[in-house]
Amino acid sequence: MKAWLPTALRAMLLLLLNAFLLFPESFEPLFKSLVQPNAPAIYNQGSLLNLTLLHLKIVFFATLIAAIIAVLLAILVTRPFGSEFLPLSRSLVNIGQTFPPVAVLALAVPAVGFGEKPTLIALFLYGLLPIFENTLTALTNLPRSVVEAARGSGMTGFQRLLQIELPLSLPVIVGGIRLSVVISLSTATIGSTVAAKTLGEVIIAGLQSNNLAFILQGGLIVGALAVLIYDGLSAVEAVLARRAGVR
Partner 1 sequence: MRIQLDKLGIVIALLAAYGTLGASFAVSKPNRIVQGQAKSILDALPSWAAWALLVLLFAAAVVALLRTSAWAKLIAAAAALLALALAMGLTGHFLTPAGNTYARVSPASGFWILLFAFALLAADAITRLKPPPWMRVLFLILAGAGVGGLLFSGSWDGLSIMKEYAGRADVFWVEAGKHVTLALGSLLAAVAVGLPLGILCHRVEPLRASVLNALNIIQTIPSIALFGILIAPLGWIAATVPGAAALGIRGIGAAPAFVALFLYSLLPVVANTVIGLSGVPKDAVDAARGIGMTNRQRLFKIEFPLALPVILTGIRIVLVQNIGLATIAALIGGGGFGVFVFQGIGQTAMDLVLLGAVPTVALSFAAAVILDALIELNSRAVNGARSG
Site residues (vs partner 1, CB under 8 A): 34, 82, 84-85, 87-88, 90-92, 94-95, 97-103, 106-107, 109-111, 114, 182, 185-186, 189-190, 193-194, 199-200, 203-204, 206-207, 212, 215-216, 218-220, 222-223, 226-227, 230
Please tell me whether residue 40 adopts helix, strand or coil conformation. Answer: coil
Q: How far is the CB of 167 from partner 1 (least distance, A)?
A: 29
CA-wise closest residue to 47 among 191, 177, 152, 201: 201
Whether 198 and 119 have beta carbons less than 8 Å apart is answered as yes
Q: How far is the CB of 102 from partner 1 (least distance, A)?
A: 4
Q: Give 173 or 202: the residue with its C-beta nearer to partner 1.
A: 202
Q: Give 108 or 150: the residue with its C-beta nearer to partner 1.
A: 108
Q: How far is the CB of 66 from partner 1 (least distance, A)?
A: 18
List, as own/partner pairs, every contact residues 236-240 make where C-beta atoms lie below 8 angstroms and the sequence separation is at least 24, other chains included.
236/174, 237/171, 237/174, 237/175, 237/178, 238/171, 240/170, 240/171, 240/174
Q: Give 171 or 206: the residue with its C-beta nearer to partner 1.
A: 206
Whether 104 and 125 have beta carbons less than 8 Å apart is answered as yes
Q: Give 19 or 207: the residue with its C-beta nearer to partner 1.
A: 207
Q: Give 25 or 84: the residue with its C-beta nearer to partner 1.
A: 84
Q: How far is the CB of 99 from partner 1 (least distance, A)?
A: 6
Q: How far is the CB of 175 from partner 1 (least distance, A)?
A: 15
Give the angle 42-46-47 at the CA atoms, nearest 5°.
Answer: 80
Q: How far is the CB of 182 from partner 1 (least distance, A)?
A: 6
Distance of CA 16 to the CA centre of its chain: 22
CA separation, residue 35 to residues 22, 39, 60, 220 (Å): 22, 6, 33, 17
Whether 48 and 216 have beta carbons less than 8 Å apart is answered as no
Q: Give 86 or 166: the residue with its C-beta nearer to partner 1.
A: 86
